[in-house]
Amino acid sequence: MEEKFWKDHCVLLNKDEENELEIFGYKTHGCRKALCIAGYILSCGALLLLFYWKPEWDVWANCIRCSLEEADVVLLRTTDEFQRYSQKKVTWIDLSTLALPVGRNSDGPLVADKDSVINRAVMKPQLKMRCIQVQKIRYIWDFSVKEFKKVGSLEDSNTCHSIHHKFGAGLTREEQKIRQLVCGPNAIEVEIRPIWKLLFKEILNPFYVFQAFTLTLWLSQGYTEYSVAIIILSIISVGLTVYDLRQQPTKLHDLVEEYNKVQVTVCTKSEGCEELESCYLVPGDMFLLDGKKLALPCDAVLIDGSCIVNEGMLTGESIPVTKTPLPLVESPMPWKTHSMEDYRRHVLFCGTEVIQVKPMGRGPARAIVLQTGFNTAKGDLVRSILYPKPVNFKLYRDAFKFIVGLSVIGMFGLIYTVCVFVSHKKPVADVVAMALLLLTVAVPPAIPAALTTGTVYAQRRLKKKKIFCISPQRINICGQINLVCFDKTGTLTEDGLDLWGVIPSEGSRFQKIHKFPSSTPLPWGPVCGAMASCHSLVVLDKKIQGDPLDLKMFNGTHWEVEDSSTAQDGAGALDTCIVRPGPKASNAPVEGIAILHQFPFSSGLQRMSVVSQKIGEEQYDLYMKGAPEIASSFCRQDTVPANFLKELKTYTSQGFRVIALAHKVLNLGKDVDVSNLKREEAESGLVFLGLLVMENRLKQETKPVLRELAAARIRNVMVTGDNLQTAVTVARHAGMIHMGSKVILIEANEPEGSAPASIAWQLAEDCKENTAALCEVCANTEEKITLEGETCNYHFAMNGKSYQVIIKHFYSLLPKILVNATVFARLSPGQKSSLIEEFQKLDYYVGMCGDGANDCGALKMAHAGISLSEHEASVASPFTSQIPNIQCVPELIREGRAALVASFAVVKYLTLYGLIQFVGTALLFWQLQIFGIHQYLIQDVIITLLVCLTMSLTEAYPKLAPYRPPGQLISPPLLLSITLNVCFTIIMQTCGFLLVKQQPWYVVLAGQRYGSPGNQTVSPTSPGENDTSSGAQSTVLSYEDTTLWPLSSINCIIVAFVFSKGKPFRKPIYTNYLFSVLLALQLAICLFLFFADIDAVYSGMQFLYTPMIWRVYVLLMLLVTFCVSFFTEDVILQNKHLWLLIKSCFGYQSNSQYRKWQRILQRDPNWPPVNAEDFAAKSTDEIYINPTYKYSDED
């Protein structure tokens, strides 16, 4: 019973998706609510504030648990490690207001699409449905499965046939109204919150609430100057935060607003077509593409006609993409999976731009709305910015633990103060005020703010280096990166490919290579025909545009494109593309070629083909180009040269990109509509024409950057969509794989028939040729650069297909492989994201550097994603580099390390400053005294505030150290540093406090402020006695106070200097001119105030005169403390070798998963397997299947 209730009470929302949530049902309880309201009033709003910080407590206190079906409030919890809570009210959608035609209340479906969730969600006869809105997406309650289901999209279960038949003629007017009410408007609305709301939200941050409490206490004690200084700083800080919080939504709002008000021609069933504003579109609507340029306001599937779209917004690459209509086929499979083909080529995505429309001769092109609002591709991108993945970084959690630890110390101080003051029978008001004062002294309220100063300065420095950041808290994480994944094309190598040569094939033999550039043009023949026509180029604004590879190939023929001509053909005038020989082209016996139909390129198929016709001839030709292994499989084997694989390897192993060309004469007869050709039938029995060889050069910065990262013991991994052999060669050229290293190619295959899944380990051939001598020569350099604890000399390389099989059938082998895998080729965008996630599971801090949309998912998944694209798609990555090469990677790691070390230094300093003041104040409390207001002011404003603001200005050290800074605040060296320095402070201040009492000139609680410098005794009167009340004299004036103030103030300057360590992560302290000058000035001011025998100074500071020899003793105490502290910090605690020695003595080993696997594999004599094959166990349980889909995959 309990189990069933729990099942009804809690379910998963968006199961197995990136934004998966647990959802719990609750019902508001009258009595509980009344009690909570009473609590709010009695606690003066403190309980309300607590519930604001902890929404789950609010729900637990006000509501009782119930099934989701009865709930009026739901509690949502993220399923990641943070488990953040939020609450939502369940609202009702009332369809009875629509005045639907009679008969809707019967048992018939509400909307014509029987599979629609709307039919399963409506309560009859009331015509109501329950809904919630989470992160801009609307969910309605599905009574049949007892779950909340997403609305705003067409069901994925629709087949190609059902999409054409259910929605091809448009929706009825009633159905449009129902869907509009249920799905909401088709608009990506980014709310710009009013400033007062943002201000209120920021002020209610726990840190500012604690600060407000502290400031109230200090103001009540007359500590006005410092409080005012802190208030001004807080106002500036809150103002800047609110400004930033307001900027991003404003920019985003302006960016998406234009897509919310597009005019679209929508067709309604039996009512014809009308122009509508796009915000009224609903899933299932059919609209016309009438040839005008159109910014798409929704995701739609093309059902008639074809069009050319610029997907730069999504992909970061402004390459025109051809979209084809969804085929009308009787297939029981859902439309996205009905064939191997990439469904994306039928989909027009929101935010992309339709540049050109080609009707199919049956009237205008038509499309059906798939998704609206935030469910669209554009909406998804905007949501990823509005609700970023939280950053899991121990620094911030540790900082909170630190504050809790200091609060505990503060509580001891509070108890101590109460005991001391009560024993002296002081008034209750004094006891409470003093006890709270000591509590707040121990906890510097500036710790959270101080953590951000390092990142703010680092962000500013990065901006100067043309690296922009939309998620500043990730800068600290960059300091921990120890593995970087690089895309290949456009990242490691030059963006475009250069045409290097073409190797024609005739009579199943390769002919003489024709190199480019060449003095003689490419001779006419099938190869020239293929290069001139097998592409997706278009003429836009009198300029040829399209895929750079297509462009290079076409330019090599010296032919020209003539656009929008009409080819005479029985099916009517078809919009075609005509290519003709240019003046520089070789003589051709044809006037030109008309490209009649395209089977577009898709990353899943790795090929494209076109149907063309020579002008003036009746014969149709099919030309294909694609990945050599794929294209050759469609050719008649008698036309493929016997040495095909050997020839292919010759070029791929030199790093060339190779593309195969093939041709076939189509026997179609007259008056045929080529657009109805089936791809499977057309692409068969082809004649192999030859290989097109393209050169992809490394960028000049690639080698030195990869060398620098390797020297810093940061692993480099290549993830690419290119051929495996090419990728391995580029990895060798770039220095990712060293000359003496072996490369083991992994090939895994799905189970076939009765044979289980298999995995084969093959030593790459070029490694076998390496002589033993070469291996020996390279061994030394290899050792210098290998990762810590990694003595292996081999690298794994695999393609996306093998990676998928390993994840599905050999998941237990994956960690062993990943620890030494360097090259991943032919990866789809989804596999790139999955790979990064798997590396993260091994406790690597992963950076990802890529340039295109196929990297978008991976850039978001990595700890630090760096996009080399200036397109809007790069908004999905935390960092964007305007300089399109990988130099930004070491730059970012350097700044990250500097920011991390700076954050640690500031936290250490603030902790010490709080505890130094705490010790001094506690000692003075012993005799019911306190530091004077001006004394506190100098410590707090002139020393601490300025130190916190300038300490992090030290720039990053130019050379990357071969180890990372500690990533945890709560680590032995850091805690030891704080503990030892606190001990030194306690010893020094206690010595000063006790020794001054032993001096012959010491007088207990002197009523006088100061005496003549010469006398050892205190004179009975002094000028300016009326400056302060006698109360102030008795609580401040004493020799203990005059001794403790310089000890604590100069101690703050000492720890600021000691903690500002330079090498190996930051430049030396003297390069931070402002900080160095300020420290010198602060020291000079303190010494001046202490040594200046000026009445006005002593009067203002509330000091007593002490003999010069005593002041010298105080300085000596400080000097000893400085020497001991500096020696401890620099020679012992920051000594990397000493810590390594201690670790080895105690047998301490890293707990990181990848380190554990490295240790296991080092002890395994059978690893790595070479030239072997393994099989999966018979069980075909799929451990984990990855979503291999999303974004285009052209590398």
Catalytic residues: 487
| Nearest CA-CA partner of 917 in 300, 441, 253 | 441
Query: In whole angstroms, what is the distance from residue 815 CA to residue 344 CA?
Result: 32
For the chain, the maximum distance between any two Cα atoms, rounded to a whole number of angstroms, is 125
Please state, as a whole number, how many other Cβ atoms lie within 10 Å of the Cβ of residue 54. 13
Residue 202 token pair = 């920021």
Query: In whole angstroms, what is the distance from residue 599 CA to residue 583 CA?
Result: 30
| Nearest CA-CA partner of 577 in 263, 356, 378, 840 | 356
- Are residues 309 and 354 in contact, defined by beta-carbon separation less than 8 angstroms? yes
Helix or strand run (H / E) with residue 232: helix 224-257
Q: Which amino acid is at 302?
A: L
Query: In whole angstroms, what is the distance from residue 146 CA to residue 157 CA?
Result: 19
Please state, as a whole number, how many other Cβ atoms lie within 10 Å of the Cβ of residue 266. 21
Residue 256 token pair = 């998406």
Preceding omega of 815 cis (within 30 degrees of 0): no
β-pair partners for 799: 825
Would you give the distance in Å from CA 493 to the centre of its chain? 24
- Are residues 129 and 141 in contact, defined by beta-carbon separation less than 8 angstroms? yes
β-pair partners for 655: none
The single-letter DSSP state of residue 712 is T
Query: In whole angstroms, what is the distance from residue 578 CA to residue 614 CA?
Result: 10
Query: In whole angstroms, what is the distance from residue 907 CA to residue 229 CA?
Result: 20
Query: In whole angstroms, what is the distance from residue 410 CA to residue 441 CA?
Result: 8
Sign of CA dihedral 973, 974, 977, 980: negative
| Nearest CA-CA partner of 148 in 46, 258, 20 | 20
CA atoms within 13 A of residue 820's CA, in its CB half-sphere:
27
Beta-sheet strands, E only, within 920-974: none
Helix or strand run (H / E) with residue 716: strand 715-719
Q: What is the 3-state secondary structure (H, E, C) of 577-605?
A: EEEEECCCCCCCCCCCEEEEEEEEEECCC
β-pair partners for 846: 483
The CA distances from residue 395 to 401, 404, 451, in Å, are 10, 14, 9
Please state, as a whole number, how many other Cβ atoms lie within 10 Å of the Cβ of residue 924. 20
Residue 686 token pair = 């082809």
Cβ-based burial of 114 (10 A; exposed 0-12, middle 13-18, buried ≥19): exposed
Three-state secondary structure call for residue 620: strand
CA atoms within 13 A of residue 917's CA, in its CB half-sphere:
27
Query: In whole angstroms, what is the distance from residue 933 CA to residue 222 CA?
Result: 8
The single-letter DSSP state of residue 1130 is I
Three-state secondary structure call for residue 330: coil
Three-state secondary structure call for residue 815: helix
Q: Which amino acid is at 58?
A: D
β-pair partners for 509: 506
Three-state secondary structure call for residue 829: helix
Residue 297 token pair = 């306001």
Residue 1103 token pair = 């000091």
